[in-house]
């Protein structure tokens, strides 16, 4: 009976964990999709880049969603078992805690191992690929030709160009150019224009023909109007680095060999996430225990509060470690012990108070 009961409990936990993780991932994907599409439209990313960026973002988000989903999955699954009196019936039939909790603990160990591979190997590689892909997309967007009927921003949005049409010879027709030079705003209108890019890709040259230029400070009455037959507008775009500089993208082996406090803090952060997953699962087992007539979601808020306190404590500890406030040998390991000590009164407090009240009544 123990094996059957263990498989039943494990099935309930896995189902709840997968549902919670998928729902949270869908919410993050919607938010991430809006940001990626906005950057792709502003920088004219090539086709196919958006889908790959979203997939790489999913791999990075899973490092946080997996432990949170497992925590909420355990609380929801055991909350339903307690609420429907299935747990009471199992305990009354002689089922011990081992047959109920051991399968969940084994699942937590397996998930923590998977999360360790995700945080130490897969997520840094995904971050590096995403940064390189975004960098390449920005570089490709710098060389992309102007499209008729669309506004195009250059030089960190310091210059905006719009062309009504593109002629057969490649020249632009009915062109609008706005360029900011400090407080001075320059607006040029031209019948025709030619767009070229220097060989290094850092400067866009717009040669305007037959137009007018308006130059001045917005809000003032002094503006200069110049009519021209030919006017050259150079726009310099910021140089893009070919190298990935994000700390989150550095390989774990490089962080381990480094003596820089910031890189050591990133290493301890990657090691702390799998341990966090295991600790939260162990705490979720007694946390999900419900009293009679308590709702199945009564402990859900406490699980969310546990995750928020735990994750924020890890983030603060990572900052202290990067600044040298906490020694490297201590790392982030003390945060796991601190969370366990903080949760002891929450988990054992009600039982102790019940025993004290029972003894007082007998006395």
In a domain, 151, yes or no: no
Q: How far apart are CA 39 and CA 60, in angstroms?
A: 19
Q: Do both 226 and 248 map to the same domain? A: no
Range of the domain at 78: 2-140+244-362
The DSSP bridge pattern shows strands 151-154 and 172-181 to be unpaired
Write 261-266 long-range contacts (CB < 8 A, 24+): 261/321, 261/322, 261/323, 261/324, 261/328, 262/322, 264/321, 264/322, 264/328, 264/331, 265/318, 265/319, 265/321, 265/322, 266/318
Residue 156, pLDDT above cutoff 60: no
Same domain, 118 and 15: yes
Q: For the chain, how many structural domains are there in total?
A: 2
Residue 166 shares a structural domain with residue 115: no
The residue out of 178, 205, 236 marking a domain boundary is: 236
Give the pLDDT confidence of 230-250 residue by residue, as tens digits: 888 887 766 554 444 577 888
Query: Is pLDDT above 70 for 27?
Result: yes
317 located within any domain: yes
Please check whether residues 14 and 132 belong to one and the same domain.
yes
Does 146 fall in a domain?
Answer: no
What are the pLDDT digits (tens) for 253-304? 888 888 888 888 889 999 999 999 999 888 888 888 777 777 777 888 888 8
Among 150, 115, 125, CA closest to 43: 150
Q: Is residue 225 part of a domain?
A: yes
Distance of CA 154 to the CA centre of its chain: 28
pLDDT at 207 over 70: yes
């Amino acid at each position: 009976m123990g094996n059957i009961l263990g498989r039943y409990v494990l099935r309930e936990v896995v189902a709840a964990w997968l549902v919670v993780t998928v729902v949270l991932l869908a919410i993050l994907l919607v938010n991430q999709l809006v940001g990626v599409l906005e950057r792709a439209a502003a920088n004219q990313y090539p086709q196919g880049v958006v889908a790959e960026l979203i997939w790489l973002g999913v791999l990075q988000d899973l490092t946080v969603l997996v432990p949170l989903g497992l925590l909420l999955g355990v609380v929801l699954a055991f909350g339903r078992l307690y609420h429907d009196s299935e747990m009471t019936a199992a305990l009354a039939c002689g089922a011990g805690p081992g047959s109920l909790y051991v399968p969940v603990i084994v699942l937590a160990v397996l998930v923590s191992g998977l999360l360790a591979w995700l945080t130490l190997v897969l997520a840094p590689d995904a971050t590096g690929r995403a940064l390189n892909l975004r960098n390449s997309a920005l570089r490709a967007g710098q060389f992309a030709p102007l499209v008729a009927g669309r506004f195009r921003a250059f030089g960190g949005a310091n210059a905006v160009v719009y062309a009504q049409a593109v002629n057969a010879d490649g020249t632009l027709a009915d062109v609008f150019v706005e360029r900011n030079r400090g407080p001075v705003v320059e607006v040029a209108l031209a019948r025709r224009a030619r767009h070229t890019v220097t060989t290094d890709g850092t400067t866009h040259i717009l040669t305007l023909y037959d137009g007018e230029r308006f130059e001045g400070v917005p809000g003032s009455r002094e503006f200069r109007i110049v009519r021209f037959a030919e006017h050259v507008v150079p726009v310099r775009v910021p140089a893009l680095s070919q190298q990935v500089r994000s700390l989150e993208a550095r390989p774990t082996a490089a962080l381990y060999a480094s003596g820089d406090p910031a890189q050591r803090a990133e290493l301890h952060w990657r090691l702390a996430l799998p341990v966090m997953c295991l600790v939260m699962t162990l705490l979720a087992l007694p946390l999900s225990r419900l009293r009679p007539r308590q709702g199945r979601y009564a402990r859900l808020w406490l699980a969310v509060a546990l995750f928020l306190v735990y994750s924020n404590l890890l983030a603060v500890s990572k900052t202290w470690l990067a600044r040298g406030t906490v020694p490297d040998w201590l790392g982030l390991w003390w945060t796991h012990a601190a969370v366990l000590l903080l949760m002891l009164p929450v988990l054992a407090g009600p039982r102790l108070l019940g025993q004290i009240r029972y003894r007082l009544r007998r006395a």
